[in-house]
């Protein structure tokens, strides 16, 4: 299994230009106020829901900004819903229920490339004017490719257990989805160097991390960092800008808005080195 898994990164690397296009499309979608939807069935759907659910705590995004839709609904996350991927009407219903519209982006995930639920979801997305993309690990049929503005097809080959796409195909899919959202969030200014400066400090560990980031970037003590974060309303990003420019919270927010949310454009200089 390790020998087979070692081939996955190379398969994904062949799609780097297509992944870059998806990152750009996602960034454009977000900056215009649109949302990103992952749509899939089975393992593919679960991976989409997973990636979407990790964006709020990692990047401080609202839950509606990146959403995962899985054939069979929430029950399919923990229990296989056989046949759900063949329910074509449900694909349209599920996207309509989320209000998918022009300005959004829908990424269909289908390891086999042939999942009917995903194909119809892409058809619906296109019909309402949304951007579309397909992530697959086998060549999709022409009727599916025709619905996708961007096609990311990382050919991972036969699985150790034939047909078990939770293996190599699942690993490749996870890598690709990680890159789409992480790349787009970096371009939105959700990071500074390798630091997650827009995380939500929702537990003791993340409060500690927030203070360490501000102390490191701003070259202040932990106590000073804590006070800066408090004055910034809990925002690490605002705290960094406030200290660097010597301004209050409102002015720091205005400067960030002018810089498209990217700290480096606002305060200049290089981010701290990777630890």
Residue 208, CA distances (Å) to 54, 222, 226, 231 in order: 19, 9, 9, 16
Domain ranges of the chain: 2-187, 204-267
Tens-level pLDDT at each residue, the chain (275 residues): 999 999 999 999 999 999 999 999 999 999 999 999 999 999 999 999 999 999 998 898 999 999 999 999 999 998 877 767 777 889 999 999 999 999 999 999 999 888 999 999 999 999 999 999 999 999 999 999 999 999 999 999 999 999 888 999 999 999 999 999 999 999 999 999 888 888 777 789 989 999 999 999 999 999 999 999 999 999 999 999 999 999 999 999 999 999 999 999 999 877 776 55
Please state at what angle helix 249-258 crosses helix 236-245, rounded to 10 degrees: 100
Q: What would the two tokens of residue 48 be?
A: 């989409």
Q: Could you confirm whether 227 is annotated as catalytic?
A: no
How far apart, in Å, are the Cα atoms of 144 and each of 57, 82, 136, 244, 263? 33, 21, 11, 50, 40
The tally of CA atoms less than 13 A away on the side-chain side of residue 141 is 7
By C-alpha distance, which of 168, 170, 147, 137 is closest to 14? 137
- The whole model's pTM is what? 0.91
The catalytically annotated residue of 85, 123, 159, 211 is: 85
How far apart, in whole angstroms, are the C-alpha atoms of residue 108 and residue 115? 9
For residues 15 and 12, what is the distance between their CA atoms, to the nearest angstrom? 6
What SS3 state is found at 40? strand
CATH class name, domain 2-187: alpha beta
Give the whole-angstrom CA distance, residue 134 versus residue 108: 5
Annotated catalytic residue, options 4, 17, 27, 54: 54
**CATH number attached to the domain at 204-267:** 1.10.8.1080
């Amino acid at each position: 299994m390790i020998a087979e898994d070692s081939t996955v990164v190379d398969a994904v690397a062949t799609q780097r230009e297509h992944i870059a296009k998806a990152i750009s499309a996602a960034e454009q979608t977000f900056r215009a106020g649109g949302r990103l939807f992952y749509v899939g069935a089975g393992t593919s759907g679960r991976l989409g829901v997973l990636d979407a659910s990790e964006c709020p705590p990692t990047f401080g995004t609202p839950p509606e900004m990146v959403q995962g839709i899985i054939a069979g609904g929430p029950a399919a996350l923990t229990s296989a819903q056989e046949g759900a991927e063949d329910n074509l009407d449900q694909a349209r219903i599920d996207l309509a229920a989320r209000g998918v519209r022009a300005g959004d982006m829908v990424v269909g995930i289908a390891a086999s490339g042939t999942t009917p639920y995903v194909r119809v979801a892409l058809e619906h997305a296109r019909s309402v004017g949304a951007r579309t993309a397909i992530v697959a690990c086998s060549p999709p049929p022409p009727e599916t490719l025709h619905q996708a503005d961007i096609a990311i097809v990382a050919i991972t080959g036969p699985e150790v257990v034939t047909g078990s796409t939770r293996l190599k195909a699942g690993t490749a899919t996870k890598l690709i989805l990680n890159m789409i959202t992480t790349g787009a969030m970096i371009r939105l200014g959700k990071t500074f160097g390798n630091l997650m400066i827009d995380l939500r400090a929702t537990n003791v560990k993340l409060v500690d991390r927030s203070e360490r980031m501000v102390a490191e970037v701003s070259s202040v003590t932990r106590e000073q960092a804590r006070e800066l974060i408090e004055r910034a309303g809990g925002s690490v990003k605002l705290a960094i800008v406030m200290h660097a420019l010597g301004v209050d919270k409102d002015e720091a927010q205005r400067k960030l808005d002018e810089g498209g949310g990217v700290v480096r454009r606002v305060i200049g200089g290089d981010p701290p080195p990777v630890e």
